[in-house]
Structure 1
């Protein structure tokens, strides 16, 4: 049963009003009395100030009659049912009540069954209308959600370089720039130590940023399409009248401030907003997208926590990265062929020395240069029989969250050196079956402190490559396997021994019994105590 509906009673005789209240089956009909008044003006005041669903009113009342009350409420377009009570059988009153679409016209003395029957009918009709309204709202939301999805996907395709969909933006989503201009924003969140941050936390943070942006656009922006992209990019296509261009800029500046205020509690995040050039045509939106990508990459030199306008930057020459890296790929791959980490590092150092100066290539090219080097490396690894797409994506994510050339160079160099060392080790120890060794050790020592780095050292592998190799062989990562072994051992002890839960937890490697119980329940589906009762 839903929320009770509110009933207002109006009668010039208070005792009659109380009688009406006494006759109503409040609980059965799921109703409650919001007030009892003795004149039309007070009734109208209550209707305006409080939530009212049904009005029961006498006709003859001081200050304002019941029928005048009905007429005045109808003028305000408030559509709720009236039950009119009268001591007069005069046809004129009944006819006038019908003109006002009064739901029921009851004669005094009031019959309780007749009153409750009228209320029951009203409640039923209100329920039907409420259901119809809910269904209509659901339908409208579904249509709106579909439209938003179409627009979002079209913008996503444009960002990915599918320029041909630009006309679909107008044709399929009713998007137009008539008497308007547009700009593309890229709201970029960079996360320190992205590899150690939970994906769920990043997702929650981006949801809040989307809310801040949507809430902050205000009446200046007449249309907006938002689209999230990997590595915590939020693209926004904003449309506004050209005469409000300055106000739109101010809105973006305020949004940056609001996001920064929200992120004060999260030391790991840094925010920057790239702003593309203003566009007056659909084709101009493509230029705005290209320019905003250049703008946001320029944070590597200009810094984070600011607005970066593409129109204030120098143009990027065509094929800038390709021309800059000409001849570098051969030297880089030669260092890999002879397993020469020093030579590979020298190649990377040389590329980034020129980048830091910004003379032969624009700073914003740093991300693309790093991405190219990473792709060369992992293509070479795959050519030598190892699958490494996950490693490439992991490094690419790190690269996209760097904010200085030093951070970028360090992330790229450190990971590629580690991967190269690990790749060489894998080739040397393939015949030694390191995963089998690791599993045997875990089975025997599951009650002891076990960390991935120690096991990797035990089997003679770099921790990064041991982790990759373990997941490749077993289908789960090492930490998940360790938990499974410990849970199996705990189940065995719960069934075969009378030891306390705390003692069993410690035996399988958990000193905190609460954490053990939560983990056991999550993995097995029932608490340790219940498991013991069921299976011992």
Structure 2
């Protein structure tokens, strides 16, 4: 892919308003992104993907005919390379979990926040350009203009349709590749924050020299994909039909690096490909294997044996969120941290599940909790997802999750140890300031940034009274106050002042709560006021 060429985007959703809105509201061209089409279902999207091979696909999970998950499965089966962003309705967890397993880069709950979606797509654009070796360091090495590097980038991107095309380029460029089995190996240097550009340049070239010496006469080609990553396409058979022992090769390279430098090197070995048309698949497998360095084991070499193939249990995320939401609301730091420890323990259904599964489940948890607490405004999707995807290790992710949820708690208020519970205080203020209206739990819940269900249960827990009874009690107290202060005020006006359009409903509720009718109370309150004036 040329550095000046736009990233391509496809939008698939059965709702015309969403399709048209996403394609027209955002000035995609300004961001270097070209819309190649829109689709109203998975089948139409699949045909466009086959024809246009878009870099990114935004798709709804639920669509008629072929849904978003079936679309992802079909694209994966056909070995078409594209990044998927999923749009999901709230409550679609089982679908979102499946999308994570299929490799979705991210997902967004409807209604969509356009700015967060654009931020995610622009971030993916940068990652795609980097994965195709188009970034500042490659420009520094001036590899962008080299025919060999361009060819290898296209090979990794799966941009050739047949081996005939690949063979023509190999002969034209006189490369040491042929139509025989191979594997891609990825040599990754773990970056240091204070690393100098020149040091990185020296490291990658030093590493390339070591690997070249170890490969000797084997058929292979190099590609420097970034300042800290070297890719090698190595054919399985050496001269004399001797097979390459990839694991032994990796061990030899590691020993030399550890002996002669302080470089922190990890190596990923991709699956074997029959012909170079499978190069992209082998490369992706190597990167997937490397991702297991997330668990900080003693491993420095990662091959297919490290990959977790066991699907997560159906109940992987069936934990009681009510306790967590209560702890966040009450700012109970230790309980939040205890929940996180238990949550991560349950995610480890095997010793090392797929790292993208762990990250995906953490993103889902935070998104779900934010929606439940009504705190999306406090932390944007970009503030959650981008740092999480850059976290390198399991322990760092655990610490991030704990700190993030504790920060959410800090933004919820003083908690139960404060002078007065701020949630209940805010609810009371709302009720009293909307006395002349019909007060619904969902309106107060929205005001205090909680969900309807959680708010009503929390309100009863903290006050000992269910929400409806509390509102009635406050309204009746207000009605009594009005009648005491204004004994000549007609009962119908009193009813209207506290949000009752129907006098009969007010009459019935008032008598149930006070034991007397509004008229009797009004007359008695008038006598009481006359007595006070005489005194």
TM interval, short-chain normalised: 0.3 to 0.5
Structure with greater Cα Rg: 1
Q: Which has the higher helix share?
A: 1
Q: What TM-score results when the alignment is normalised by the length of structure 2?
A: 0.38
